[in-house]
Amino acid sequence: MPPAAGAAKKRQLREPDRLPAVEIKRAPNGRLEQRGETFFLIWPFRVASIRSETGVAINRGNGPSTFSSSQSSTTHAQKNALSSAGKHELAYAMPLRLALFLLAVSALFLPAFARSFHSRSRSGSIPDQSPSRLILHAERKSQSDLEVAGELAGLPAGTTRYLARPDLLALPQVSFDVTGDANFAVHVRVRGIELGVLESQVAVESEDALIVAVCRDFYRGYYPQAYVLAHKPVVALEINGQGPPDWPRSREGTNSPLGPFLITHQHFAPSFKILAHQDEPQIPWGVVRLEFRNEKTFYEVFAPRSSQADDPAVQAGYRIAMQNCLRCHSASEEPTKARYAWSALATMAGQTPKQFAAYVKNPQGVAQYAKMPANPAYDEATLHALTAYFRSFDRAAK
């Protein structure tokens, strides 16, 4: 570039539908270096001339070549000058090659770039969550679909969606022999997805996450984070290499199918004991829905209410009820397996505490046709704790 033109300000070529403005310089080795806002390219061929109606050109001198402003292109070497016809042109096929090169680089790096933004907030705030990694369908396509609801990643709280079985089968899975599961009369081989892995694919990430498995008959299994970490429950997809239609039937006398989903463990070892109540496996079958909730806000509804709420017996009864009674009863208006709501249990415990305790220990001994399972291991202290807890909800209790 002539000295007189050297004082001209460098400017970058920008068009409405092009990449961010770039600057091209010739490296000492003769290669052209293209520098932009987010990339650095070296293109291994020589350029004779670039001309356009805007007066932008590239020098071919021994010094550095740059895009620069020029009022006249006659001062530049034009060994192979081409007619511009109102378009930017190269003596060689640089624009086409560069475009192909950028497309190839984009294909390589865009997936990694997208993954870098998959940062899931631990605050439980729905708007800040990345979308689910699985396809969540707005409508059920098959009876084998798994319904998911609650705090789903990237969706408003309370949204309901559906996961197709083929998508579940594509997730990382574990296989193991099941022992000690009351749903099976003999040892079986299970293949499925760890509940924690499934949660990470669809739900808002939170330290207070609670997973609720809902069955066809509205029986529920509850999985706080402590339970998930301690026992690693698994959503079964195959049993003995077979899909749900060929699974064993229920052992509870109904001969009902165990599918479309059930939850089991490779081996369950109790992690706590409260009085005579020992940590129990949550092994629901006939699961049709998973709800992802916040543990703190969910359990607040069931917290003891009376002035005796801090009594050790009441607190013990509260913890027992959350793992045992809550599976069939509820304080909300949602459907439950059991006929009696939380308020009815509170009334029974408050008005007839002895009958309540007797019913918890041996329901069929109080009501011949009761369907509630007995709790023969519960001793007097355990029954007192449960009674004291439910009495805290009854204002008329003395």
Q: What is the pLDDT of residue 105?
A: 56
Task: Please give the residue that has the higher pLDDT: either 26 or 143.
Answer: 143
Give the mean model confidence (pLDDT) for residues 155-174.
Answer: 95
Residue-wise pLDDT tens digits, 87-143: 444 344 455 666 666 666 565 555 444 444 443 333 333 333 556 678 999 999 999
115: Cβ–Cβ under 8 A, 6 or more apart, which residues? Answer: none
Annotate 354-384 with b (16+ C-beta within 10 A) or e (fewer).
eebbebbbebeeeeeeeebeebeebeeebbb
Q: Which CATH superfamily is domain 301-398 in?
A: Cupredoxins -  blue copper proteins (2.60.40.420)
Q: What is the pLDDT of residue 140?
A: 94
Residue-wise pLDDT tens digits, 354-371: 999 999 999 999 998 898
Provide the residue ranges of all domains of the chain, joining segments of one domain with +.
3-115, 123-295, 301-398
The pTM of the full predicted model, rounded to 2 decimals, is 0.67
Whether 63 has a pLDDT exceeding 90, the answer reads no
Whether 237 has a pLDDT exceeding 50, the answer reads yes
**Bridge partners, 193 (sequence order):** 235
Mean pLDDT over each residue of the chain, to the nearest integer: 77
Q: How far apart are CA 380 and CA 275, in angstroms?
A: 10
Whether 349 has a pLDDT exceeding 70, the answer reads yes
Determine contact, residues 259/235, Cβ cutoff 8 Å. no
What is the CATH class of 123-295?
Answer: alpha beta
Give the model's confidence band at 30: pLDDT under 50 very low, under 70 low, under 90 confident, else very high.
Answer: very low
Packing angle, helices 342-351 and 380-391, rounded to 10: 110
